[in-house]
A = this chain, B = another copy of it.
Amino acid sequence: MRTGIATVCLSGTLKEKMQACAIAGFDGIEIFEQDLVTSPLPPEDIRKMAADLGLTLDLYQPFRDFDSVPGDLLAANLRRAGAKFRLMSRLGMDTILVCSNVATASIDSDDLRVEQLGQLAALAGDHGVKVAYEALAWGKFVSDYEHAHRLVTAVDHPNLGTCLDSFHILSRNWDTAPIEVLDPAKIFFVQVADAPKLAMDVLSWSRHYRVFPGEGQFELAKFMGHVVRAGYTGPVSLEIFNDVFRQSDVERTAVDGMRSLIWLEEQGAKWLDANAGTPAVPRRRYPMELATLPQVAEPAGWNFAEVRAADTTGLETVLGQLGFGFDGRHRTKDVQLWSMGAARVVINEAAPDLAAGSAPAIAALGFDVDSPVIAAARAQQLKAPAVPRKSQANEEVFQGFAAPDSTEVFLCQGSADRTAAWTSEFGEGLDVPAGGSTAVIDHINLAQPWQHFDEAVLFYTSALALQPQPFAEVPSPTGLVRSQVMLSADRSVRLVLNLAPLIQQEGGGARTTYQEHIAFAVDDLVGTARAARGRGLEFLQIPANYYEDLDARFGLDPDFLATLQDLNLLYDRDADGEFLHFYTATVGSVFFEMVERRGGYDGYGAPNAPVRHAVQYDHLHRS
C-alpha cells in the first residue's frame, strides 16, 4: 500500500512538514494549497526538495467551487484552473483534487455538470493533469460519492476520475459496499480519515474533529476492504483537519499518522481475510497488496508497575502500610521490589531522567505477553521508540518502548501462576508478612499530555491490542477531566488514560497537573483498609457529605454505611455488582488505590471520581 499524507494535517511550514513526512516514512504527500501559497519556496525548489526527501507529490488540493455555475463564472473557474495546472507542471504534479461546489453552485443539473466537468477534463488533458473530483459531504448539489462517480463516468474522459474520502462518505452514513463496483480506472485518489461520532453539523465536525485512523469510531477496515476489492492501486492518503494536530510537534504528529496507516493496512487485510466470501477470494488476488504485522494477542495481565523517585521514603512507607512486602534490592540496579500477591511494584531509586522533577512518578508499565519478541517486533514496526534497558549477564532483558507520554512500556513473559522469573534477581527482603496474598494490579491511571491524547489511544490499540472504551468526562475543581479506558477483553489489563484540564498560568500560558495512580484489587477491602489503618496509612479523607448522598442514592444498611465512612471507603453499585475502594494520600505525583469488585461490576466508581479530585485539590491547596 502506498502511503500518503496531506500537509494540512501538520503544524509548521511546508518545508518542516515535508521533512517530517520523510522522516516518518511516508511514500508521498498531498500539497494543501495554502501551504504552498504561504511558502517562500519556489515550486521548482519544492519539487527538488520532495525528490531529495524521497517523497512523491501525489495530489494538489483543494480546487473549490467549480461546477454547477453560470457561464461567466465557468469561464473564470477555467481560467483559475489553467493557472493551477501550469503551477502543477512546475511542481511536477499530475493530480488535482476538485471538490463538489459548496459556495457558488446555483444550477442543479447533472447535464450541466457533465458538460462543465468535461471542459475541465479537456483543459486538464492539455496540461497532462488528472482531475480527481470529490463529493464533499456538504456539497450543495453533489454530496454522495456514487453521484460523483456517475458524473465522471458520464464525462468519460481519461483525465477525469473521482477521489474517495472516508470522512465524506462515512460522516453521511453512505453505504461503502458499492465502492467495489466503481470503475477502478476512474478512482484517481483515496483519502482516509477517522472521526469520533459526534452529533454536530458535518462541516464543523470535518474541519476540527477528524483524527487519524484508529483514533475515532469510523469503520475504516471495511472501507479499506471495499477500496481494495474495487481494484484501486493508488496512494492511501491521510487528510485530517484537527485543531490539536495543527498545534502539535510536526514530527510526532507525522509519526502518529504513519502509525495509523500501518495499522489501517493491517486492519484492511484482516477484514479482507474475514470477508473473503464463498468461494473465498484470497487477499493477494487484488492488485493492491496490504502488508500485515507480527500478530500479538492482547496482554494477559500486568507484570509490574515501576515508580521512580529521588527520595523513595514516602513510597516505601505507603506500600508497607498498604500491606506490601519488601522483596529486596536488585543485585546490580538501584531498584527495589515490593509485592503483595501478584501485584508487583518496582521502586526505581536512580531516577536519572525525570524531566518533570524528582518527585515520585509512574515511570514504567510491565505487561504479560505471549511472546515479548514478537510483541516488540510489532511495536517496532508501528514506530514505537525502543527503550534501551541496561542489564548484566544472566539477567532478564525486557523488550521495551516508550509510550506517547514517555512512560516506558515493557513486554514480559507471562506465566500461568502469575509469578515473574526476574524477581529472583532481587536480594533478600524484610520478613514482613504480606497483607493480602491475592492482590493483583486492577488498573493503572496515567495522565496524558493534551497534545498526545489521540496518539496514545492509537498507540495502545495498535501496539498492545487494547480496546478503547467510550470516554467519560469527570468534573474536577480545575475543569473537566477526560477519562478513556483501554481494556483487554478479559479485563486482566485495564489502563485508564486521563486528560487533565489545562490550568492557567501567569502570562497567558497553561499547565496540567499530573496525579497518576496504581490500583490494586483485593478480596477483602474492609479488612485491607483496617489493616492499613492499623499500620498508620494516611487515607484520602472522604467528606461526610459524600456518605449522606450515598445513603440517599442507595439506601445502604446503616452498619455498612458506618463502616464505609469510618474507613474512608467509597462505594458504587450498578446492575452488575458492587465496587468498594479507597485512595491513599498522594506521594509526589503518585497515589495508590485499593479496590474490591463484587459480582460483575466492571467500572471504576466513576460517580466517586469528582470526590477524589476535589479532596486531592483541597489537600494540594492547603499544603
Contacts and interface: CB of A to CB of B under 8 A. Distances in A.
Given A37-B546, A198-B200, 19 more contacts: A12-B478, A36-B545, A37-B611, A38-B545, A79-B552, A80-B552, A243-B480, A246-B478, A246-B479, A246-B480, A247-B479, A247-B502, A355-B506, A447-B508, A502-B502, A502-B510, A507-B511, A508-B512, A509-B511
Interface in A490-523: 501-512, 514
B38 A615 contact: yes
A477 interface: yes
Contact of A200 (B200, B451, B613): B200
A8 B33 CA distance: 44
Interface stretch (A39-47, A256-264, A368-376): A39-47
A588 B607 CA distance: 49
Interface of A: 8, 11-13, 16, 33-34, 36-43, 76, 79-80, 83-84, 87, 198-201, 204, 243, 246-249, 355-356, 447, 449-451, 475, 477-480, 501-512, 514, 541, 543-546, 548-549, 551-553, 555, 610-611, 613-615, 617-618, 621
A509 B507 CA distance: 13
B37 A504 contact: no
A87 B548 CA distance: 9
B552 A84 contact: yes
25 contacts: A12-B478, A13-B477, A13-B618, A33-B549, A34-B610, A37-B546, A38-B613, A38-B614, A40-B545, A42-B545, A83-B551, A87-B548, A198-B204, A200-B200, A243-B479, A247-B478, A247-B502, A247-B503, A355-B507, A356-B508, A450-B508, A502-B502, A502-B510, A508-B514, A509-B512
Contact of A248 (B40, B504, B548): B504
A43 B621 CA distance: 22
Given A13-B477, A480-B243, A555-B76, A545 B199 contact: no
Contacts of A84: 552
A470 to B, nearest CB: 14
Contacts of A87: 548, 552
Contacts of A79: 552, 555
A541 B39 CA distance: 11
A505 to B, nearest CB: 7
A246 B611 contact: no
Contacts of A501: 243, 246-247
Contacts of A611: 37-38
B504 A509 contact: no
Nearest to A76: B555
A476 to B, nearest CB: 8
Contacts of A549: 33, 37
A510 B452 CA distance: 13
Contacts of A479: 11, 243, 246-247
Contacts of A13: 477, 614, 617-618, 621
